[in-house]
Amino acid sequence: MGTRIPYSLFPIPYSLFPIPYSLFPIPYKMKILQIVPSISLIYGGPSQMILGLSPALAKAGTKVTILTTNTNGDSGQESLDVPLNLPIQQDGYEIIYFRCAPFRRYKFSVDLLKWLKDNAKDFDIAHLHALYSPVISAAAMICRQQNIPYILRPLGTLDPADLQKKKQLKKIYTALWERANIAGAAAIHFTSEQEAKVSERFGVNTKDLVIPLGVIPQQKSEEDVRIKLGIPEDKTLILFMSRIEPKKGLDLLIPALNQLLKMGFDFHFVLAGTNPQDPSYEDKIKDEITNSPLKECTTMTGFVTGKTKIGLLQTADLFVLPSYYENFGIAVAEAMVAGTPVVISDQVHIYQQIIDSESGWVGKTDVNSIVNLLTTALSDPQECQRRGLNAQEYALNNFSWEAIAQQMIRAYQEIITMKK
């Protein structure tokens, strides 16, 4: 276990500084590297996190450079159509894309690592987003060689449940590379107290930063997604919007929804998402829906973004994510900021915030629990509305990228100061 530092609390007594931290000027133009295997939105949360944090860090007075690859899916999709090996300026920060080669499946890039080796000395700190990723593992080793402090964000990969996937391969990978990378990190960035609590450290004593993810509030969507997607106006809309993979609990949600149909509930279900790494599992889920009574009241959209995504989040009456494990659940936070109450499992690691703020309903990872939660929610529309308003208020107050950027900068400053 590590020494946990929840940066949502002030690391220095507030009484010493009776004005907000955000009013303190940054003493120098801190140079920050953000390194992530892919920035494509098709991969979901990790990309959204980088694209939310980086402009907020830049606005706060730091220089941010993102290093990533041009990969855009693992099963035949075209790579991102972007310039390579050149800094692209956007929203106050810069991003450099490198060709994903070899090993496209693992989002590897020799060019990225060469650039890092040549330029790492020009930066104060690196923030690495992934574990068990060859390009990130190699980046961590280069940072140590160049004497650049780095933070690792594991994205839930240290959860015991996730470590069971490809268990033997991960044991070998850990022994060869990842344990040393964790030991050499200036800190491990967890996005919830629960993630920090359950995560494995392989006997290494780590410094843990507990800093949540943020969301960007959106203007009211002008697009009527009910008309666009053919969803009846008089039907309660239940939304699942996430990556379609086994850990998301669709094997629980689909039979639960079928039970609700038998009980006489009238609703429309939207399955929004894809799986660029395992399309066969996505096909399996779609076949299961197609061969069940749920077919008659389901719309399967595939991957959504832009106005359609915003419209679905704002129009939905309930957002459902019964995951078996989820280190944060950025989709849950997005639903909350849109004013939609959530129905989640207690394995989504921000579940306690949902309970405390009465932003939705939390249950177990079993079919009966999900049926009971949805029955409660669907039976009381006024309570749904109340919890949706609670959800929005909580998200706006606690998942602001501007506030999170200030927490992150304090963490960076402390690490850089200790390194000197």
Do 152 and 279 lie in a common domain? no
Place of tokens 């900068």: 409
Do 282 and 158 lie in a common domain? no
Q: Is 219 inside any structural domain?
A: no
Q: Is 336 inside any structural domain?
A: yes
Q: Is 282 inside any structural domain?
A: yes
Q: Is 345 inside any structural domain?
A: yes
Which residues of the chain register pLDDT less than 50?
4-26
Q: Is 198 inside any structural domain?
A: yes
Phi, psi of 39 (to 5 degrees): -105, 0
pLDDT in tens, 75-124: 667 788 899 999 999 999 999 999 987 666 678 999 999 999 999 999 99
Cis preceding-peptide flag for 13 (omega within 30 of 0) = no
Q: What is the pLDDT of residue 204?
A: 95
Of the candidates 116, 106, 91, the residue with the CA atom closest to the CA atom of residue 34: 116
- pTM assigned to the model: 0.82
Query: 360 to each of 238, 332, 385, how far by Cα in Å?
Result: 13, 10, 10
Amino acid found at 357: S
Q: What is the pLDDT of residue 103?
A: 61
Do 315 and 370 lie in a common domain? yes
Do 166 and 244 lie in a common domain? no
Q: Structure tokens of 122? A: 């020009």
Of the candidates 207, 164, 162, 148, the residue with the CA atom closest to the CA atom of residue 183: 207
Do 328 and 233 lie in a common domain? yes
Do 414 and 353 lie in a common domain? no
Query: Does an H or E element contain 381, and which?
Result: helix 381-398
pLDDT in tens, 386-418: 999 999 999 999 999 999 999 999 999 999 998
Do 372 and 382 lie in a common domain? yes
Of the candidates 248, 249, 376, 244, the residue with the CA atom closest to the CA atom of residue 318: 376
DSSP conformation class of 220: P
Q: What is the pLDDT of residue 8?
A: 40
Q: Is 406 inside any structural domain?
A: yes
Contact in structure between 100 and 79 (CB atoms under 8 Å)? yes
Q: What is the pLDDT of residue 76?
A: 64
Do 389 and 408 lie in a common domain? no
Do 275 and 324 lie in a common domain? yes
Do 67 and 86 lie in a common domain? yes
Query: 396 to each of 56, 80, 401, how far by Cα in Å?
Result: 15, 32, 10
Q: What is the pLDDT of residue 78?
A: 79
Of the candidates 359, 351, 369, 300, the residue with the CA atom closest to the CA atom of residue 335: 359
Question: How many domains does the structure of the chain reveal?
Answer: 2
Q: Where are the alpha helices (DSSP H) in 185-249?
A: 193-198, 225-229
Q: Is 269 inside any structural domain?
A: yes
Do 254 and 172 lie in a common domain? no
What CATH number did the domain enclosing 74 receive?
Answer: 3.40.50.2000
Amino acid found at 266: D
The domain in which residue 229 lies consists of 225-398
Q: Is 217 inside any structural domain?
A: no
Do 232 and 320 lie in a common domain? yes
CA distance 219 to 217: 7
